[in-house]
Structure 1
Amino acid sequence: MELLLLSNSRSPGQPMLAHAAEALVKFVAGRRVTFLPYALADHSEYAEAVAGALGRYEIEMTGLHTSTDPIADVRSAEVLFLGGGNTFRLLRALQSLRLVEPIRDAALAGAGYLGASAGTNMACPTLRTTNDMPIVEPGSFQTLDLIPFQINPHYLDPDPASTHMGETREERLLQFLEENDVPVLGLREGSWLLVTGDGKASLGGPHSARLFERGREPLELPAGAELSSLLASEPRFDTPSH
């Protein structure tokens, strides 16, 4: 299984995906990309922007929103790219189109999985560590479960000078751990997680990441850190009683 999970698709002062261009080109390796634009409302506009961004690196792309048989096209895809936007909207669209299992099966069978922000959230077991407002209601919070731990994209460190009275990102993730015994990797802007076919995982990009685990102080992980041990996690989620 090959995964490239970006915290963000845009970095300040750079074109879309430029901050991760080297990793992206190496990951795609000449394969054709199938892009799923469902995290934003205007699928055509989003797909056009991503096609332009990938085109700078001579990467060919097809938008799944134009397909007459999206399930078949997912199953035959070489690289699946799930873009950023609203995670709740993306998950509801995948559920409505009956794409959750086909995407998971394709990734497990060897198709590359590329995610950015909301698309990175989709690779986790659930969307419970997204930053997004629930603008729509999906049928469940269960996502693709390609990795056994959670990611928090766009991770922000607490600002000691801030006068904002709401919870910091760290406080919210610690609240998540009060209810769920699952590691959470806080990916800062400009960073990504790479999972290679030999079962290894590493932190990419110029920044460190922050790892949250129940009963432990948050751990700072340096850029380039080896994270393969997280792939052996055994998460325990809170399950609602009925």
Structure 2
Amino acid sequence: MNLLLLSNSTQHGRGYLEHALDTVTAFLPERARLAFVPYALADHDAYTARVRAALEPAGITVRGIHEDADPVAGLAASDAVFIGGGNSFRLLSALYRTGLREAVREAAGDGLPYMGASAGTNMAAPTLRTTNDMPIVQPPSFETLGLVPFQINPHYLDPDPASTHKGETREERLTEFLEENDVPVLGLREGSWLRVEGNRARVDGARPARLFTRGAPPRELAAGSDVSGLLATAPRFDTPAR
């Protein structure tokens, strides 16, 4: 696998992908033909134009996968794939509908560079169960691409001790997930990402990540931490991921 999984594509006060642009351009092949998957947002053309404006100055050719009559064939003609953020339920539903769920999983397994941000990063995990998104549509299954054997929670937020909000914190929600499922969850804060190269994985970016496992307190992972051991995870979901 060759994966770059970003927590977010837009950082406060900066342009689209600007906070990670050096990492993104180093990850993508030189003069890459990039297949962009815009299905997490409703306006596919505008979303693709935004990605194009961010990456084409670096010599990357961006084509929205929706622009091809056959999205699977468009993927096959590309040097890399980028699945953007938005609503994870809408995105996954579209991946099933277009045949891209199987096609992307097979292509990434064969070495096609896969980049995700937010919802696109959620897709790399085994299931949708640790997304933050509202289920605005119902996909055929919660099963995503399974490019890594553990769960990811992009946009991870730490509890605010000064907050008067009485709803669950992100940590409490992930703890509830672990009560029902025995699989690690990597919380990626804004500005952080996960890089996977073959059997090696590390967290990187401007902020540390947070690792949640059943029966243990959460663990902080500084930028640059090796998390290759997570790739050997044998996840157990206590109920079907449907």
TM norm. shorter chain > 0.5: yes
Greater strand share, structure number: 2
Q: Which runs of 5+ in 1 are unaligned?
A: none
**Deviations for 1:34-64, whole angstroms, at most 9, x for unmatched residues?**
0000000000010001100112322211110
Shift of residue 240, structure 1, vs aligned partner: 4.2
CA distance in 1, matches of 2:131, 2:57: 30
The residue that corresponds to 2:46 in the other structure is 45
- Structure 1 distance, partners of 2:105, 2:4, is 15
1:132-184 superposed Cα distances (whole Å, 9 cap, x missing partner): 00011001100000000000000000000101110000000000000000000
1:136 aligned partner: 137
CA distance in 2, matches of 1:54, 1:234: 36
1:76 maps to 77
**1:68 deviation in Å?**
1.2
CA distance in 2, matches of 1:136, 1:61: 27
Report if aligned partners of 2:93, 2:137 keep a CA contact under 8 Å in 1: yes
Counterpart-to-counterpart distance in 2, 1:137 and 1:235: 24
Sequence identity percentage: 60
Corresponding residue of 2:204: 204
Aligned to 1:18: 18
- Asked if 1 retains the 8 angstrom alpha-carbon contact of 2:4 and 2:196, the reply is yes
Q: Give the aligned partner of residue 177 of structure 1.
A: 178
Pick which of 221-230 and 50-59 moved more. 50-59
Q: Please list every run of 5 or more consecutive structure 2 residues that lacks an aligned counterpart in the other structure.
A: none
- Give the alignment of 1:85-234 within 5 angstroms: 85-197=86-198, 199-234=199-234
- Amino acid in the other structure paired with 2:235: P
The residue type paired with residue 238 of structure 1 is D
How far has the Cα of 1:239 moved from its partner? Answer: 2.0
SS at match of 1:56: helix
CA distance in 2, matches of 1:204, 1:93: 30
Q: Deviations over 1:196-225 (max 9, x none)?
A: 13x210111021010000000100111110
Contact 1:156 1:169 in 2 (8 A): yes
**Letter paired with 2:195:** L
SS of corresponding position for 2:12 = coil
What's the TM-score once normalised by structure 1's chain length? 0.97
Q: Give the distance between the partners of 1:19 and 1:56, measured in 2 at CA.
A: 16
SS of corresponding position for 1:229 = helix
